[in-house]
Amino acid sequence: MPSNPTKFNSSSLARIYDDYARDMYDTFKKVLAQIPCEAPSTQRYSLARNCADCEAAYKTWLCSVAIPRCEDFSVDDTFLQPRALGQPFPDGSTLPDDVLARFPKDRLAFNGSRNPNIDTVIQPGPYKEVLPCDDVCYNLVQSCPSALAFTCPSPGRPGFNTSYGQRTAADSNGSVTCNYPGSAHFFSGGPGRSTSAAMAACACGLLLLLLL
C-alpha cells in the first residue's frame, strides 16, 4: 500500500488506514440500518440477497478501495493506474517534466488518490495502483439494496479504466492484475519483480486491516 517511511512506521501507517476504513464502515452501517433487513420475505429488497450479503460485499469493496495495492512508479504494466503525479516523493524529488507530459494534467485520477488520506496525510508521492477488480464492485451493487444507490462503471465507459481493473490483462506476466482481499501478489508459478522495484518510492508493503 502507499506509504511514507519518512513520516510513519508500520504501526502508525496501519492505524491511519484502519481508522479510515472504520469510519467508512461505521457510516455504511448507519445507512444500512435504515433498511428493513428483518422484514418478511415479501417486503425485503431481494429474495436472492440479504443485508448480511450486503455487509460482506461492502467490506470486500472497502478493503480493495481504501487500502490500495500499489507498485513503484517505474513499473510499466499497462493495467496499473498512475496516482499523485504532481506530488513530491518522500525524499523531496519530483517526476521529470518529460514524464509528466505523458499524462493528462487535468485528470483527478492521475493527480490524486481515491482515498483522500493518502494525499493529505500519508503523502507517498507518485505511485501506481493495482485497481480494484470490477467484479468486486458488481457484487456490491448486486448484494445491496438499490436505495443505497451503489453504481459501477462498465468496461469501455468513461471512468472505468481509471477506477477498476479486470482479472486478466495482456501484459500481466503472471501478476495479479486487479486488487481484491486475499489476493496473492503473483499467481502461483508466475515470475516476480525485484525487491527494489516493489519497495522503492511507493514503499509498498503488506499490512493487515485490523478492523475487517
| Residue whose entry in the numeric block shows the C-alpha cell 478501495 | 65
Handedness of CA 113, 118, 120, 124 (dihedral sign): negative
CB proximity list for 17: less than 8 A, separation 6 or greater:
1, 66, 67, 117, 207, 209
Handedness of CA 5, 6, 10, 13 (dihedral sign): negative
pLDDT given for residue 191 in this prediction: 39
- Pick the more confident residue, 210 or 104: 104
Report yes or no: 87 and 119 within 8 Å, Cβ to Cβ: yes
Count of helix runs (H) and strand runs (E) in the chain: 7, 3
Label residue 41 by pLDDT band (50, 70, 90).
Answer: confident
Domain ranges of the chain: 10-198
pLDDT given for residue 189 in this prediction: 41
From its phi and psi, is residue 182 left (phi > 0), alpha (psi between -120 and 50) or beta?
left
Mean pLDDT score across all residues of the chain: 83
Mean pLDDT of 43-53: 91
Cβ-based burial of 209 (10 A; exposed 0-12, middle 13-18, buried ≥19): middle
Specify the pTM.
Answer: 0.81
Residue 167 reports pLDDT greater than 50: yes
